[in-house]
Structure 1
Amino acid sequence: MEKTKKVLIVTYYWPPAGGPGVQRWLKFAKYLPEFGWEPIIYTPENPSYPLIDKTLENDVPKNLKIIKTNIWEPYQIAEKFSKSNQKFKGGQFDVGKNQSFLSKLSIFIRGNFFIPDARKFWIKPSVKFLKQYLKENNINNLITTGPPHSLHLIGLALKKELPNLKWIADFRDPWTEISYYKHLKLTSAADKKHRQLEQSVFQTSDITLATSYTDADNFKKNGANSFCITNGFDVSENSKAGELEGLNAGSSESIRTPEEYHQTLKHSNSKTNKLKFTLSYVGILEQLRNPENLWKALTELCEKYPDFAKEFELKLVGRIDDKILNEIDNSVLKNNIKNLGYLAHQDSVNEMQNSHLLLITNFPEESSKGIIPGKLFEYLATGKKIISFGPKDADVETILRKTNAGKHFDYSEVMGIKDYILSLYEDWKSGKSIENSADINEFTRRELTYKLSEILEQLI
């Protein structure tokens, strides 16, 4: 029998962290042993996660080796200055007129003094620890996954000190090409340093992984030996139709217990007809991805069609920015909102399953067309129709066309949005099925892990 090969995976996000960032390597770790690879996880002992979902700990493989060391992060200090900094550690912050002086100051400090990010203080101690650990355990394969991109600098240092080490840098999101990068108020010197570090990672890593086709192409243009492995969804063999993996919308601050969740549903259903045409957003929605024209289109549909206004429901599950909530609450849509707040992952999945149309949003800039949110694959697995917002010719649009699972709009459209939603509503009202039945097997986590194992085999 062929000997199992080892690979060390350096990741900041790991259960009990919530959100889509944790899912990618949690699932790779689950399936890698099937393809002859033993994953070993290296992660912080005391991280400062923006979201917590302890139920994801149930998905961690029982025999998985996990190594932890302490990390120091400045977020606790930052949060004393401004509560808005609590969401900043999750890559969110106020923009434009919503920025206070303290928010602007925090953004400036973050972009110019914590390069590449505030987890940079974990780099040196991790390099010292892992250099010894890799030698002692005869491990020659390393994967770093970011953001936070400071973890790639751990790989960069180890690669330079251990010549035989094979290193894969996994970019779940781009570094300097991510939409919020231009909002970091960088000095020219700081911008130059970010780009130099990014370039070093591209050129030094043996393989660079991207989660989208466009990102893989862009990385290649910058000197990376890049490949695309998208995110995906997990099918449970023990369920009747294949349950989704957890899509967390939870928070340690206010995640609801099952009893509170079902009480919310009971209270909500007592006020409205249970038979609603439901558009749902599940996850985190910040100001930079606010689909304002969608709210406008829905408002106009409610004003023009009384039946639509009576039977339409806008369901929000997760962390929705207060500014966005206020915008919707001060419109005609306030009577159509069901705001369930933070839910545990299985309850979030249930809400997706009990919807007719699922909303996904991306940053509007052309530079973001390569971002494929992990949530898209969770949505695909439900068979529900999807309405997407982002730049034209986005990779999300490519996947929606390929699977016939929904429609993509840029942020300037209104009429097309109204027509699409109205057509689905009319089909629903007439009793027609509006679900999708395309083959999406290539996006299962097992298939994607097989693709990863083939890439790993190229290195040895």
Structure 2
Amino acid sequence: MDSELDSHALNKVLLIAFHYPPVNVSSGIQRTLAFSRYLPDSGWQPIVLSAHPRAYPFVSDQQLRDIPQGMLVKRAFALDSARHFSIKGRYLDILALPDRWVSWLLGGVISGLKLVRSQKPAVIWSTYPIATAHLIGLVLQRLTGLPWVADFRDAMLDDVYPAPGARRRCHAWLERKVVEACSAAVFTTPGAVELYRQRYPYISDSKWHLIPNGFNEDIFEEVEIESKKNLESSEQKPFLLLHSGVLYPSERDPQPFFDAISELKNEGKISSKRLCVVLRATGHDELYQPVLDRLDINDVVTLAGGISYREALSEMLSADGLLIFQASNCNHQIPAKIYEYFRAQRPIFALTDNQGDTAKALLEAGQGSIVALDNKDAIKAGLDDFLQKVRAGEEVGVTKEAAQRYSRRAFSADLGEVLYKVSCSNKE
């Protein structure tokens, strides 16, 4: 249901985002949700243009309460081609260009124009990785002439995604149009900024901006209070090592990790009484369960189902250690969960390339247990060392003070500055 918004704010910004409650995804909604929550502190009153919930693969009302009271949220017509236009699981390729939610384009543009006329925002903002969001932003920018900030949570093109074909050509065309037409392009990692700077050398450096992902302190404090109420003695419990979120077979392949666990178990260095590895909501359990069966490590490694966002944060707070998986082909990316890991203040064991942005962020935060994702022997030695150091109190998590630099409230203030700059430039 749409809600009415007070009209007294000095500046308004139209936020175009596919991922917004009630969509049920692990981290995709948190960035826009935080911006909509904290931008008023920087003098910006958000208006949200999202998709109708029927387009979402999964919905939940668990984070509807996190939408600021009085926020105007318009949910435009949208369908999912894979579910609504397929026959026996197949549908025309044109119905998935630039993505499966291209039907959102028409409803989004019409609703966006109505919001521009009625609410008179000073700036348009849209966020990828749902490419149709940027397509809506592009059309609205051309029709209204308003300054536009394009937010890239991921790169629209990399070495392997999208696969060669019509979708890759469409993404390449749209990406170029977006970076040329937008007033500012925002990225979440230094590597992504450099990637686009090199890809578009004719674009002024002043267009590129870095605003990382982060954690929501208000929600964390709420969860922390509840977690302390439910705290149980863990003296007789095995060491809980947790990964929370999707494990992509190519970008976060856990096979070498499984092999390392198997060898450590066979050598008697770990057992189910001493270590419990929980891989929460991998998204690919059907691929990994046979591997666990074959290696006989089901007693040590558990594939656990999805839980609510607050429950996931609570589990991070209760873990003895946290896991990060990130392949070298994603060196210009940083998993969004890493900032929540920082705030959870638990020691982190990272399987990633030490030259990538993920490793650099970990080192800056004082987390040095980093081994290559694809090196079984390095994982084996590194994990054994990590477990010993944590048990001895020699390996600790990020301090709460150090973690505060990654709060979404602070990053929302950074976005407020970008919005102010492009709105002022438009008036000149």
Q: Same fold (TM over 0.5)?
A: yes
Query: CA distance change for structure 1 residues 323 and 79 in 2, over 3 Å: closer, same or farther?
Result: farther
Name the CA distance, whole Å, in 2 between partners of 1:237 and 1:287.
Answer: 31
2:331 is the alignment partner of 1:354: no
Residue of structure 2 in register with 1:199 after alignment: 176
**Aligned mate of 1:7, from 8, 13, 16:** 13
Which whole-Å deviations, capped at 9, do the CAs of 1:293-322 have from their partners, x for residues lacking one? Answer: 111111111111255553111112224411
Name the CA distance, whole Å, in 1 between partners of 2:34 and 2:106.
Answer: 28
Residue of structure 2 in register with 1:147 after alignment: 129
CA contact (8 A) 1:202 1:219 kept: no
2:5 is the alignment partner of 1:23: no
Query: CA distance change for structure 1 residues 73 and 233 in 2, over 3 Å: closer, same or farther?
Result: same
Name the CA distance, whole Å, in 2 between partners of 1:238 and 1:300.
Answer: 37
Shift of 1:402: 0.4
Q: How does 1:259-338 map to 2 (within 5 A)?
A: 274-288=236-250, 289-306=252-269, 308=271, 310-321=273-284, 322-338=286-302
Paired residue secondary structure (1:330): helix
CA contact (8 A) 2:10 2:43 kept: yes
Shift of 1:274: 4.2
Residue of structure 2 in register with 1:126 after alignment: 108
2:370 is the alignment partner of 1:389: no
Given residue 208 of structure 1, which amino acid in structure 2 is its aligned partner? A
Given residue 241 of structure 2, which amino acid in structure 1 is its aligned partner? L
Residue of structure 2 in register with 1:459 after alignment: 422
Q: How does 1:444-455 map to 2 (within 5 A)?
A: 444-455=407-418
Q: Which consecutive residues of structure 1, in runs of 5 or more, have no partner in the other structure?
A: 83-104, 245-261
In the alignment of these two chains, the number of paired residues is 404
Name the CA distance, whole Å, in 2 between partners of 1:328 and 1:402.
Answer: 34
Name the CA distance, whole Å, in 2 between partners of 1:161 and 1:306.
Answer: 64
Query: CA distance change for structure 1 residues 459 and 430 in 2, over 3 Å: closer, same or farther?
Result: closer
Residue of structure 1 in register with 2:426 after alignment: none
Residue of structure 1 in register with 2:155 after alignment: 174
Shift of 1:392: 4.8
CA contact (8 A) 1:290 1:324 kept: no
Paired residue secondary structure (2:53): coil
**Aligned mate of 1:44, from 46, 51, 63:** 51
Paired residue secondary structure (1:439): helix
2:99 is the alignment partner of 1:136: no
Shift of 1:421: 1.4
Q: How does 1:81-160 map to 2 (within 5 A)?
A: 81-82=88-89, 114-160=96-142
Name the CA distance, whole Å, in 2 between partners of 1:151 and 1:429.
Answer: 46
Query: CA distance change for structure 1 residues 284 and 393 in 2, over 3 Å: closer, same or farther?
Result: same
Shift of 1:53: 3.6
Paired residue secondary structure (1:181): coil
Shift of 1:341: 1.4
Query: CA distance change for structure 1 residues 235 and 135 in 2, over 3 Å: closer, same or farther?
Result: same
Name the CA distance, whole Å, in 2 between partners of 1:78 and 1:338.
Answer: 36
Q: After alignment, is 2-11 or 303-312 more displaced? A: 303-312
Name the CA distance, whole Å, in 2 between partners of 1:337 and 1:54.
Answer: 31
Residue of structure 1 in register with 2:306 after alignment: 342
CA contact (8 A) 2:53 2:59 kept: no
Shift of 1:193: 3.3
Which ranges of 4 or more aligned residues in structure 1 deviate by more than 6 Å? none
Given residue 363 of structure 2, which amino acid in structure 1 is its aligned partner? R
Residue of structure 2 in register with 1:417 after alignment: 379
CA contact (8 A) 1:276 1:311 kept: yes
Residue of structure 1 in register with 2:63 after alignment: 56
Q: After alignment, is 398-407 or 46-55 more displaced? A: 46-55
2:202 is the alignment partner of 1:220: no
Which whole-Å deviations, capped at 9, do the CAs of 1:39-79 have from their partners, x for residues lacking one? Answer: 00011123432343421112111121111221132121477
Paired residue secondary structure (1:279): strand
Given residue 21 of structure 1, which amino acid in structure 2 is its aligned partner? G
Q: Percent identity among equivalent residues? A: 21
Shift of 1:15: 0.8
CA contact (8 A) 2:289 2:303 kept: no
Paired residue secondary structure (1:55): coil
Residue of structure 1 in register with 2:217 after alignment: 235
Q: After alignment, is 371-380 or 354-363 more displaced? A: 354-363
Q: Which consecutive residues of structure 2, in runs of 5 or more, have no partner in the other structure?
A: 1-7, 424-428
Name the CA distance, whole Å, in 2 between partners of 1:68 and 1:435.
Answer: 40
TM-score by length of 1: 0.80
Q: CA RMSD in A?
A: 2.9
Given residue 33 of structure 1, which amino acid in structure 2 is its aligned partner? P
Residue of structure 2 in register with 1:398 after alignment: 360
Which whole-Å deviations, capped at 9, do the CAs of 1:385-437 have from their partners, x for residues lacking one? Answer: 22233445211111001011243333332232222211222234446563332
Given residue 142 of structure 1, which amino acid in structure 2 is its aligned partner? I
Residue of structure 2 in register with 1:255 after alignment: none
Shift of 1:444: 0.4
Which whole-Å deviations, capped at 9, do the CAs of 1:315-351 have from their partners, x for residues lacking one? Answer: 1222441111221232131111334312122222222
CA contact (8 A) 2:74 2:111 kept: no
Which whole-Å deviations, capped at 9, do the CAs of 1:342-361 have from their partners, x for residues lacking one? Answer: 21222222221222221122
Given residue 169 of structure 2, which amino acid in structure 1 is its aligned partner? K
CA contact (8 A) 1:302 1:332 kept: no
Name the CA distance, whole Å, in 2 between partners of 1:242 and 1:231.
Answer: 20
Residue of structure 2 in register with 1:71 after alignment: 78
Residue of structure 2 in register with 1:89 after alignment: none
Query: CA distance change for structure 1 residues 426 and 132 in 2, over 3 Å: closer, same or farther?
Result: closer
2:355 is the alignment partner of 1:378: no
Shift of 1:148: 0.7
Which whole-Å deviations, capped at 9, do the CAs of 1:269-309 have from their partners, x for residues lacking one? Answer: 9xx99421221111122322222111111111111125555
Which whole-Å deviations, capped at 9, do the CAs of 1:70-117 have from their partners, x for residues lacking one? Answer: 1132121477635xxxxxxxxxxxxxxxxxxxxxx77xx65x652211
